[in-house]
Structure 1
Amino acid sequence: MTAGNNEVDDLTLARGDFLIERHIATAMPAAHWHDHVELNLLLEGEMTYLFNGRREEVEAGRLVLFWAAIPHQTIAVTGNAALIVIYLPLADFLALPIDREARRFTMQGGFLSDPAATGHDGFVAARWVEEWNEGEPQRRSLLREEIALRVRRFILDCVETGRLSGGEAGTAAVAAAVRHVEALTDLVNSHYGEPVLMPDLAARAGIHPSTANKAFRDVLGLSVNEYLTRYRVARAMQKLVDTEDPILTIAYDCGFGSSSRFYELFKARTGQTPLAFRRALSRKG
């Protein structure tokens, strides 16, 4: 979906799943967007994005990172431009212990490019694609950890070299909205297992509930409650894969008030019941 000629399922993107894929980049007929942070690595050739109203050049061998909820479109690509794309769920990105200014920069429309192009990333990313396609759950779990570390190093390099520029600095109101979102997402990430409601989160952050929801909609395009639900489902999926805990225990540990509510929301977001989801992954193992 990022730059044409790939096989990413629209439903996969709509659900905010983690994904790695490789394709030959082509120009896109129109801009699109989805709820991920993208990490792109062009292996050869050149590519130009129209991103947030600006032209952004992508060089071979140089990682780039951006929030894909902002409309983006590939408008120029050289021939045989092999591209590896990592779709990092927003919840995973927000949970990373990275520089706060870098997180704000990304949310406000910054387009981050690695300070140095190296051949090492190409070799490593090719292995990521190969191992991801093999579908072995333990390897996929390790890949997510590896990529999280690579993103943290990438962000640190950008911060240390002063590359946090070119993003939409915005008005004071925009900056305030991003700060509100940051405070609220930090609270969700820390307290998602508790029976908290949106007004509780807003109160803990010292923000009026209506201000909290407006900030979330302006910055992330969804309500605080929707983000809380998505985060809880994401953590439940992780526990279903990584543990043998009873499903009822996972439901309560992830903040769902009842098993029926958990089953209802989980199936609506993933297309499977928690038990079917766990069994499907067990068969792949």
Structure 2
Amino acid sequence: MPNKALTQSFDPDRRDFSPYGLSCVSWQASVMPRPDHHNEIEINFLPHGSLTYLLGGKKVEIQEGAISLFWAAVPHQIIHFTDEQPYFVATIPLQNFLQWRLPEHFVQALLQGNVIGEPDHARREPDLFLFEQWTNDLYVQKPGIARAVTLEMQARITRLAADYHRETYSADTRDHLAGIAEAGLSKVEQMACFIAQNYTQKLTVQQIGEQVNLHPSYAMNLFQKTFGTTLINFLTQHRIAHAQRMLTTSDTSITEIGLQAGFSSMSRFNDAFQRICGCSPRDYRKTHDHINSAILSTQS
């Protein structure tokens, strides 16, 4: 079971897109006041209970007993959980993951913002053993242990990828992994999803409020009270996350990236990017050029 003494939780003050690196930790679920995003593949394993994310504009439920993974550059935010017991979160740097040369349809499904998980609990006990071992190994940091953990993670994900065939998943399984019906969303969750699905368009607070039949002022107050951030900040975070993904995964021009992300001008794009990321889009791309090169090489 996860070690409560070593359990971590989300820090709302962490810098946007700050890396976690290769990690496996015991994690305490909490309702997150804002989305997190980082350039790793994230794996969740819950020994008990379930948790619900807003992830890429969808409400996605992660259930106990089977691993689930997604590309964490897609903004993700826990909005509900059912058990106070810690669970496991592992992160794999994207460049490492891409070097594993997994099946293209599996990799592309993740990079397109899908959540991939085991369709059943057949490997629950072996997975629990693995996550406990990875957590202890990376905490102790014995010489060479990180490489051993990386190889074991590679083997586990390779097994999952080998079993991943869209045509063999039932409609119920695909629907579960894709997300929960919009009818199950509260007003504020509907606003968050509407933003996540439409942030590349020109949006106003009035439009967002009208989408859920709320007065703009009430919509703004309700959103900030629930998520601890304004509608405009939430919208900007999605646009910057989109730009970060494009800067690290494509050779599209910076001007085009800013426009595609939903910014009306380059000055607005540059100002928002500098404020949130602490550097210019150009410098950000240079810093992550090795990731860009690795991704483009998988597509050639």
Q: Please classify the TM superposition score into its range, dividing by the shorter chain length.
A: 0.5 to 0.7
Highest RCO, 1 vs 2 (Cα 8 Å, sep ≥ 6): 2
Q: Distance in 2 between matches of 1:146 and 1:104?
A: 22
List 4+ stretches of structure 1 deviating above 4 A: 6-13, 163-168, 209-215, 221-226
Matched, 1:43 2:47: yes
Q: Distance in 2 between matches of 1:42 and 1:214?
A: 40
For residue 128 of structure 2, the aligned residue among 106, 109, 122 is 122
Matched, 1:82 2:86: yes
Structure 2 runs not aligned, ≥5 long: 1-6, 180-196, 198-244, 262-280, 294-300
Q: Distance in 1 between matches of 2:288 and 2:54?
A: 27
Residues 204-243 of structure 1 mapped to structure 2, 5 A cutoff:
210=252, 225-229=286-290
Closer/same/farther in 2, CA of residues 139 and 218 from structure 1, 3 Å limit = farther
Q: Comparing 12-21 with 146-155, which one deviates more in the overlay?
A: 12-21
Closer/same/farther in 2, CA of residues 23 and 210 from structure 1, 3 Å limit = closer
Residues 37-186 of structure 1 mapped to structure 2, 5 A cutoff:
37-117=41-121, 118-159=124-165, 162-163=168-169
TM normalised by structure 2 equals 0.54
SS at match of 2:80: strand
Q: Distance in 2 between matches of 1:29 and 1:19?
A: 23
Closer/same/farther in 2, CA of residues 23 and 137 from structure 1, 3 Å limit = same
Q: Distance in 2 between matches of 1:214 and 1:93?
A: 28
- CA deviation profile, 1:184-231 (whole Å, cap 9, x unmatched): 98xxxxxxxxxxxxxxxx9xxxxxx6579968x979x98875443458
Deviation at 1:5, TM superposition (A): 2.2
Deviation at 1:22, TM superposition (A): 0.8
- CA deviation profile, 1:95-140 (whole Å, cap 9, x unmatched): 1221101111111111111122122211221111111111113122
Deviation at 1:83, TM superposition (A): 1.3
TM normalised by structure 1 equals 0.57
Aligned CA RMSD, in angstroms, stands at 3.9
- CA deviation profile, 1:153-183 (whole Å, cap 9, x unmatched): 1122222773495669x9xxxxxxxxxx9xx
Deviation at 1:91, TM superposition (A): 0.5
Aligned equivalent of 2:209: none
Q: Distance in 2 between matches of 1:13 and 1:116?
A: 32
Closer/same/farther in 2, CA of residues 89 and 73 from structure 1, 3 Å limit = same
Letter in 1 for 2:289: L
SS at match of 1:43: coil
Matched, 1:26 2:25: no
Structure 1 runs not aligned, ≥5 long: 171-180, 186-201, 203-208, 233-285
Letter in 1 for 2:163: D
Deviation at 1:93, TM superposition (A): 1.4
Q: Distance in 2 between matches of 1:54 and 1:45?
A: 20
| Percent identical | 22
The answer (yes or no) to whether the contact 2:8–2:26 under 8 Å persists in 1 is no
Q: Distance in 1 between matches of 2:152 and 2:26?
A: 18
Letter in 2 for 1:142: A
Closer/same/farther in 2, CA of residues 9 and 92 from structure 1, 3 Å limit = farther
